[in-house]
Amino acid sequence: MATPIIMPKFGQMTEESAIVEWLKKEGDSVAKGDILFTVETDKSVMDVESFEAGTLLKIVVPPKVFVPVQSVVGFLGKPGEAIPGEAAPAPVAPPNPAPAGRVTPVLPPSPPPAATPPTSGALVRDAAATPPAPAPSPPALFRISPRAAALARRNAIDPAPIRGSGPLGRVIERDIKQYLESRGGGHAAIPGSPGEMAEKPVAMSRMRQIIAQRLTQSFRDTPHFYVTVPADMTGLMAYRNELKAAGAPYTITDFISQSVVLSLLEFPAVNSSTDGQSTLRHARVNLGLAVSIQGGLVVPVIHNAGAMALGEISAASRRLADKARAGKLTPDEMAGGTFTISNLGMLNVENFAAIINPGEGGILAVASVLPQPAVRGGQVVIRQMMKMTLSADHRLIDGAQGAQFLNAVKAKLEDMALWKRLAS
């Protein structure tokens, strides 16, 4: 009996996924470890390898169709082996049990062909005299790379008519970009009006649908409150410039991350979560860093950041951000966060508030460092100021506690002795 190929479950929150592209076709030989297909999850595109050798007997789920995780998407085995659901109308025995921990839906047997209605003798003679119509030619196989498919989805275009320049006519990312440029940037144009935006609904990408679903749930079910404080970054900006000139690759986000981690260790209530019935105080600080990518937002997580030095946090941040922008984050690298930082400092933002990620107790929204008038020693002077807004879950954190936590972050950012010790 053929072995079912199962749609894997990528991450705790993933309920369904779609195959972007089958890299093997029916009849191909498959070695253990070969990539069978690529899968689109809510945040990335992942390769799925074969756990055993054999022949790809049947593809059950075509590309671009979302199915529940743990569903059967194909069958692997020896040529000629029986495939569940393709036997005669007699009852079909269920397939071999799926690997441990996986649920395999049993495909129903194929329905019998519809009965042919009775015909008159004249009709039979006419039909026999008429030569049968030639069988239609099978459609050409449409090939597209995962990156090109993702770019097409983000711009709500159908890539099928695009002529591919890759191997075997495969549509690659460059082809999508050229098509978008020819259409005036990728907007859905009104027929006869090239370049004009069409006033019609455009389907949201899968990523945007998941973002909308989770943040709507969080904002609806979590009682948010907000606290904003300004931090004087004048000294730290100057020190960071000194470090940069000396070849140290620290960013302002690195200093903010370290300040948040140290403050979370002081205020464990902020590093906690709740289901509305009980509170879980996390033993480790798993720091999420929101990263904007084309078409959406991902939050890679620095696990056990409380045990890391400033240099280790900096290196982990760069590595995860690079993987996020390349679409190569693994589900484990986006799971398990206990607190998140969202930094829009590079976008000339004076102040903003963020929505708490589900399963966390708070999120810190960091705005731009801007020259602002400030009072120092009774005199009005210009300082480099940065506003930070804490969004906190009021079921876990009270207003005073949230303010104390945020002022602890501020105090660390303004403590130059601390940074000269940690960055040395």
Q: Tell how far CA 360 is from the center of its chain.
A: 18
Instruction: Return phi, psi of residue 316, to 5°.
Output: -65, -40
As a whole number, mean pLDDT of residues 131-139 equals: 48
Instruction: Return phi, psi of residue 417, to 5°.
Output: -60, -35
Answer whether residue 139 shows pLDDT above 60.
Answer: no
CATH of 149-193 given 2.40.50.110, 3.60.20.10, 3.40.470.10, 4.10.320.10: 4.10.320.10
DSSP string computed for 123-144: HHHHHHHSPPPPPPPPPPPP-B
User: Does an H or E element contain 176, and which?
Assistant: helix 173-182
Res. 272 pLDDT band, cuts 50 70 90: very high
Sequence-ordered strand ranges (E) for 53-153: 54-59, 66-68, 72-77
As a whole number, mean pLDDT of residues 139-154 equals: 72
Q: Whole-model pTM?
A: 0.62
Give the angle subtended at the CA of 263 by the CAs of 262 and 266, to the nearest 5°. 95
As a whole number, mean pLDDT of residues 113-129 equals: 39
CA distances, 57 to each of 16, 27, 62, 246 (Å): 24, 6, 14, 60
% of the chain at pLDDT higher than 70? 80
For domain 3-108, say whether CATH 2.40.50.100 is its number. yes
User: What residue ranges do the domains of the chain occupy?
Assistant: 3-108, 149-193, 206-422
CATH number of 206-422: 3.30.559.10
Residue type at 338 in one-letter notation: T
Say if residues 296 and 208 touch (Cβ distance below 8 Å).
yes
Task: Please check whether the two domains, 149-193 and 206-422, share a CATH topology.
Answer: no
Residues 6+ apart with CB under 8 A from 63: 18, 19, 20, 21, 22
- pLDDT of 176 reads 87
Among residues 9, 230, 221, which one has the least CA distance to residue 103?
9
Measured over the CA atoms of residue 303, residue 326, residue 145 and residue 156, the dihedral's sign is positive
Residue type at 245 in one-letter notation: A
User: Coil, strand or helix: which one is 343?
Assistant: strand
- pLDDT of 150 reads 77
Q: How many CA atoms lie within 13 A of 140 on its CB side?
A: 10
Res. 293 pLDDT band, cuts 50 70 90: confident
Residues 6+ apart with CB under 8 A from 25: 56, 59, 141
Answer whether residue 111 shows pLDDT above 60.
Answer: no
- pLDDT of 167 reads 67
Count CB atoms within 10 A of the CB of residue 31.
10
- pLDDT of 250 reads 94
User: Coil, strand or helix: which one is 395?
Assistant: coil
As a whole number, mean pLDDT of residues 94-122 equals: 38
What would you report as the CA-atom Rg of the chain, rounded to the nearest whole angstrom? 28
Give the angle subtended at the CA of 70 by the CAs of 1 and 49, to the nearest 5°. 75
Answer whether residue 145 shows pLDDT above 70.
Answer: yes
pLDDT digits (tens, 9 = 90+) for 30-67: 998 899 998 876 556 778 888 888 999 899 999 888 78
Question: Does the annotation mark 303 as catalytic?
Answer: no
Helices 310-325 + 252-266 axis angle, to 10 = 120
